[in-house]
């Protein structure tokens, strides 16, 4: 094996990196080693075969997963993604993150995740419907409103959840809206769900700015990733008086020193397929974008965007992680040394799962809340969670990420011990 191959082979996986943070939190909390091992071990992992007849009449079998990482605090909660690169390791990592995320915002869910290895861009709506319904039937015995509640994720949406709910309802013999979240409003979906991840992130940014005594009026914002979360976060921050100076998507980025109109940029992307080419902007790369001088940097797309290599060149005051896992472990001490205030992903992007909890609660009670009520409840949850993480950070003299993991892991560990979940 050559040197580069050896180096690649010895690199920790994304799951390995996630578990490093869990172990560090468990050690800081002085938890018993056996309990730490339990916290680092997925509770259940399922892999199923999903047979589907394609439009061409060809029969295909897709590999699919559902991981329930830890359900000590409540039913598993986590989305379902459709992507060619879905693996059991990836799904387990995401389920692991969901466990601590739910605990940090103190909602009664455990962590779960699902995925199907497929290319949805090459499949017709009818094929995706058959795939979704067959997957729902395959995992129906291991999910349910009080067991495990899926939701949408990469390349899945409200329509996917409607199909899933229909198939599960057929299996159990009655309409069961509470089996999934992220549904269409007409089928029991919640007001405010589409904006929830971005809005939750913005609430944490507002609290961080208040803590740092950083005025939001005129504050400069850079957003890496202009999908649902990134574009809505840009708009919401713009409405609060911030100046969005750069945004990007997978094709590249744009910069405007005087500020960009987030809504106009989104319209341009809808028309052309990318933010690149927006009138009056300068084209920049994604790599250049994250190193721009700004008050607030919002990575809202890919994992591992901020590394030990580029972390020394980050010039943001606040790093708000709207994406899952955008910062590599070795970058954290560098950011801390440079005075970057990090709002970690398991806090910053927890708005989505929080409103999913609201949807689930509404479904169980067969009631419906107004958008105003949803948004007010979300703001209260995010403010309280931020305050709890900040308090832990100050009391333990650790960074915000370590504090968030200590809070989340500690809450899960306490519940496990109270319930008698001991090795």
pLDDT, tens only, 342-362: 999 999 999 999 999 999 999
Compute the mean pLDDT over every residue in the chain, rounded to the nearest whole number. 95
Q: How many CB atoms lie within 10 A of CB 263?
A: 13
What number is the average pLDDT over the span 77-105? 96
* One domain, residues 84 and 123: yes
Are residues 330 and 201 located together in one domain of the fold? Answer: yes
The percent of residues above 70 in pLDDT, for the chain, comes to: 97
Strand pairing report for 243-249 and 220-224: parallel
Residues 206 and 314 in one domain: yes
Place of tokens 């329930």: 68
Residues 222 and 133 in one domain: no
- What's the whole-number mean pLDDT along residues 337-342? 96
Share of the chain above pLDDT 90, in %: 93
Catalytic residues: 113
> What does the pLDDT average to over 85-98?
96
Three-class SS of residue 38? helix
Domain that includes residue 162, residue range: 44-179
Q: Is the dihedral of CA 111, 117, 121, 124 positive or negative?
A: negative
Instruction: Please compute the mean of the pLDDT values over residues 230-242 and round it to a whole number.
Output: 97
Among the listed residues 199, 167, 159, 166, the one whose alpha carbon sits nearest the alpha carbon of residue 183: 159
57 and 172 fall within a common domain? yes
Is the Cα dihedral 18, 12, 116, 229 positive or negative? Answer: positive
User: DSSP characters for 197-248?
Assistant: HHHHHHHHHHHHHHHHT--STT-EEEEE--SHHHHHHHHHHHHTT-EEEEEE
- Write down which residue in 297, 315, 348 finishes a domain: 348
Same domain, 169 and 270: no
> Which of 118, 146, 179 is at the close of a domain?
179
- Counting the structural domains of the chain, the total is 2
CATH of the domain at 54: 3.40.50.10860
Q: Is 49 helix (H, G, I), strand (E, B) or coil?
A: strand
* Per-residue pLDDT at 140: 97
Mean pLDDT in residue range 69-88:
97
The overall longest dimension of the chain from CA atoms, in Å, is 62
Q: Do β-strands 220-224 and 110-117 pair in parallel, antiparallel, or remain unpaired?
A: unpaired
120 shares its domain with 210: no
More confident residue, 17 or 259: 259
**Residue 17's pLDDT band (cuts 50, 70, 90):** confident
* pLDDT-derived band at 10, boundaries 50, 70, 90: very low
The pLDDT, as a whole number, for residue 1 is 38
């Amino acid at each position: 094996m050559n040197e580069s191959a050896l180096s690649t082979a010895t690199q920790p996986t994304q799951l390995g990196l996630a578990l490093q943070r869990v172990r560090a939190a468990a050690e800081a909390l002085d938890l018993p080693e056996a309990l730490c091992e339990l916290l680092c071990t997925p509770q259940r992992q399922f892999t199923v075969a999903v047979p589907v007849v394609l439009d061409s009449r060809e029969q295909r079998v897709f590999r699919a997963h559902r991981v329930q990482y830890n359900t000590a605090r409540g039913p598993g909660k986590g989305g379902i993604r459709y992507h060619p690169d879905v693996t059991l390791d990836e799904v387990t990592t995401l389920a692991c993150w969901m466990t601590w995320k739910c605990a940090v915002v103190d909602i009664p869910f455990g962590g779960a995740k699902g995925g199907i290895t497929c290319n949805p861009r090459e499949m017709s709506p009818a094929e995706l419907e058959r795939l979704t319904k067959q997957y729902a039937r395959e995992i129906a015995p291991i999910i349910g409103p009080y067991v495990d509640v899926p939701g949408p994720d990469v390349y899945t949406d409200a329509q996917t959840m409607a199909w899933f709910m229909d198939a599960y309802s057929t299996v159990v013999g009655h309409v069961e809206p509470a089996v999934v979240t992220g549904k269409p409003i007409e089928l029991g979906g919640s007001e405010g769900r589409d904006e929830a991840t971005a809005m939750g992130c913005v609430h944490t940014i507002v609290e961080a700015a208040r803590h740092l005594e950083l005025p939001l009026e005129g504050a400069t914002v850079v957003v890496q990733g202009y999908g649902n979360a990134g574009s809505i976060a840009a708009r919401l921050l713009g409405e609060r008086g911030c100046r969005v100076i750069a945004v990007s998507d997978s094709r590249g980025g744009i910069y405007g020193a005087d500020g960009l109109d987030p809504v106009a940029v989104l319209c341009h992307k809808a028309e052309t397929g990318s933010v690149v080419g927006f009138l009056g902007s300068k084209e920049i790369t994604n790599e250049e974008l994250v190193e721009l001088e700004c008050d607030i940097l919002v990575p809202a797309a890919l994992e591992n965007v901020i590394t030990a290599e580029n972390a020394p060149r980050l010039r943001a005051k606040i790093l708000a992680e709207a994406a899952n896992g955008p910062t590599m472990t070795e970058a954290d001490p560098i950011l801390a040394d440079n005075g970057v205030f990090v709002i970690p992903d398991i806090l910053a992007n927890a708005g989505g799962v929080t409103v999913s909890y609201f949807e689930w609660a509404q479904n169980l009670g067969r009631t419906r809340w107004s958008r105003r009520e949803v948004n007010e409840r979300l703001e209260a949850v995010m403010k309280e969670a931020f305050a709890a993480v900040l308090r832990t950070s100050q009391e333990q003299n650790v960074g915000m990420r370590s504090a968030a993991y200590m809070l989340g892991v500690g809450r899960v560990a306490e519940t496990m011990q109270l319930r008698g979940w001991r090795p």
